[in-house]
C-alpha cells in the first residue's frame, strides 16, 4: 500500500500539472510531453504508454470526447472542456486518475457538467467502505446520464483488475468491499444520451449525440474506516 500511495501521488501530481496547462492555444501533444517528462522525472513510467498499443502517456478528451482521446496537434480553444486521464507505474504498482478542466471561460452548462461529474464520484466514495458491496458505489454514483459501456475497476499491479466498478445499477450486488482493496471509481457523465461510439482509431470514444461529456476518477483504498 505504501508503494500504491507513492504511485498515486505521482499520478495526481501529473494530473494537476496537465490541468494547469489547459488554456487556449496549447496543443494536446504539448500536455502529453510535459506529463511524460514529469512521470519519468519521478522514477516512474507512464502506465498508459503502449498499454494495449495506446500511443501516448495521457488520454486527453475534449468536449464531446468521453475518454481515450489521443493527444496530437489539436489546439485547445476558449470554451473547451478537457478531460485529462493519466496513470503512473511506480515500483510495480499503478495509480489511475482523471478530471475535466475548463479552457478559459466555459458555458454554464459545461461548468455544471464538470461539477456534477466530480460530485458523483464523491457520492460513490461514501460507499467505498468495508461492509458495502461494489454495486452500492455505482448506485450512489448514478446521476443524470452516466456512461454504461465503460466502468471503474480494481487497480494495483495491473491497471485494470477485478472487480469492475460500474457507475450505475441496483445496490447490494457484486463483491463485498474488504479493507486493503484498491479500486478506481470513475464516473463519465454526458449532457445528453449516455450512449457512446468508438471511432475508427479504436480508442477515441465520443458521445453518440455529439454533446459534452466529463470524467472524474481517483484510485481509492478501502480501509476499515474512511476510504483513502
Ligand atoms: N485510464 C483509463 C482508465 O481509467 C484507461 C486508459 S486506457 C489507455 O481505466 F490505454 F489509455 F491506457
Ligand atoms: Co481507470
Residue ID of nearest Cα to ligand 1 atom 12: 48
**Chain mean pLDDT for the chain:** 97
How deeply is 91 buried, as exposed, middle or buried, from its count of CB atoms within 10 A (0-12, 13-18, 19+)?
exposed
Q: Which three cell numbers stand for residue 154?
A: 480494481
**Residue whose CB lies within 8 A of the most ligand 1 atoms, among 50, 96, 183, for a mutation test:** 96
What gap in Å lies between CA 135 and CA 11, rounded to an integer?
A: 26
| Binding site membership of 32 for ligand 1 (Cβ less than 6 Å) | no
Read off the pLDDT of each residue in 41-49 and give the average, rounded to a whole number. Answer: 98
Q: What is the pLDDT of residue 33?
A: 98
Give this prediction's pTM: 0.97
Q: What is the pLDDT of residue 120?
A: 97
Q: What is the pLDDT of residue 144?
A: 78
| Binding site membership of 96 for ligand 1 (Cβ less than 6 Å) | yes
- Residue pLDDT, tens place only, 157-215: 999 999 999 999 999 999 999 999 999 999 999 999 999 999 999 999 999 999 999 99
Q: What are phi and psi of 56, to 5 degrees?
A: -145, 175
- Residue pLDDT, tens place only, 64-100: 999 999 999 999 999 999 999 999 999 999 999 999 9
| Binding site membership of 164 for ligand 1 (Cβ less than 6 Å) | no
| Binding site membership of 136 for ligand 1 (Cβ less than 6 Å) | no
| Binding site membership of 132 for ligand 1 (Cβ less than 6 Å) | no
- The C-alpha R_g of the chain, in whole angstroms, comes to 16
Q: What is the pLDDT of residue 9?
A: 98
**Among all ligands shown, which has an atom nearest to the Cα of 68?**
1
Concatenate the DSSP letters of all residues of 160-172 into one string: SEEEEE-SS--SS
Residue 143: pLDDT over 90: no
In Å, how far from its chain's centre is CA 1?
20
| Binding site membership of 146 for ligand 1 (Cβ less than 6 Å) | no
Residue ID of nearest Cα to ligand 1 atom 11: 48
Q: What is the pLDDT of residue 163?
A: 97
Residue ID of nearest Cα to ligand 1 atom 1: 85
**Residue whose CB lies within 8 A of the most ligand 1 atoms, among 28, 58, 159, for a mutation test:** 159
Measure 47 CA to ligand 1 centroid, in angstroms. 8
DSSP code, position 71: P
Amino acid at each position: 500500500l505504501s508503494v500504491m500511495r507513492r504511485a498515486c501521488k505521482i499520478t495526481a501530481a501529473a494530473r494537476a500539472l496537465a490541468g494547469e496547462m489547459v488554456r487556449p492555444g496549447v496543443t494536446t501533444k504539448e500536455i502529453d510531453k510535459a506529463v511524460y517528462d514529469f512521470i519519468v522525472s519521478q522514477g516512474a513510467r507512464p502506465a498508459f504508454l503502449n498499454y494495449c498499443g495506446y500511443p501516448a502517456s495521457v488520454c486527453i478528451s475534449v468536449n464531446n470526447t468521453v475518454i481515450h482521446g489521443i493527444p496530437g496537434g489539436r489546439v485547445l480553444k476558449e470554451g473547451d472542456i478537457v478531460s485529462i486521464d493519466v496513470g503512473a507505474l511506480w515500483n510495480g504498482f499503478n495509480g489511475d486518475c482523471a478530471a475535466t478542466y475548463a479552457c478559459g471561460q466555459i458555458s454554464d452548462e459545461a461548468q455544471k457538467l464538470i461539477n456534477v461529474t466530480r460530485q458523483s464520484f464523491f457520492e460513490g466514495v461514501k460507499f467505498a467502505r468495508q461492509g458495502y458491496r461494489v454495486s452500492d458505489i455505482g448506485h450512489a454514483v448514478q446521476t443524470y446520464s452516466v456512461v454504461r459501456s465503460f466502468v471503474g475497476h480494481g487497480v494495483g499491479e495491473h491497471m485494470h483488475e477485478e472487480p469492475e466498478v460500474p457507475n450505475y445499477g441496483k445496490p447490494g450486488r457484486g463483491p463485498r468491499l474488504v479493507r486493503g482493496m484498491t479500486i478506481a471509481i470513475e464516473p463519465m457523465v454526458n449532457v445528453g444520451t449516455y450512449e457512446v461510439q468508438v471511432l475508427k482509431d479504436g480508442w477515441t470514444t465520443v458521445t453518440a449525440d455529439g454533446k459534452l461529456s466529463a470524467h472524474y476518477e481517483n484510485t481509492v483504498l478501502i480501509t476499515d474506516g474512511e476510504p483513502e
